[in-house]
Amino acid sequence: MVLPVIMLILGLCLQAIAALGMQLTNAALARQAAGQLSRGTDVSIVVANMAAANAAALLAHEHDGELVCVTLRQSVGAGPLSLLVHEVKVRECVVDAN
């Protein structure tokens, strides 16, 4: 009776650590994409670069006044954590250089 609970908690902890790593990686990718867009790089090139770096993440961008913001979303995948958190979402903004 105790072993299934221990396995569930262990699986939850391991998936949470993987989701944290996913969030850190996506934050760096979103910051890079926002920087490229702020310098005037074509959106299709930025999307292709992000797809090459992380094909599972969905990219969205917007101009918010003087800021260029990029949002990356990625599913945490199947596992016990997906019952609590469905996706990792990261938003990074940089000042528009144009």
User: What residues does each domain of the chain span?
Assistant: 2-95
pTM over 0.75: yes
Positions of the chain with pLDDT lower than 50, given as ranges: none
Task: Report whether 77 contacts 22 (CB < 8 A).
Answer: no
**Residue-level pLDDT at 17:** 95
Helix H, strand E, coil C: the string for the chain is: CHHHHHHHHHHHHHHHHHHHHHHHHHHHHHHHHHHHHHCCCCHHHHHHHHHHHCCCCEEEEEEECCEEEEEEEEECCCCHHHHCCCEEEEEEEEECCC
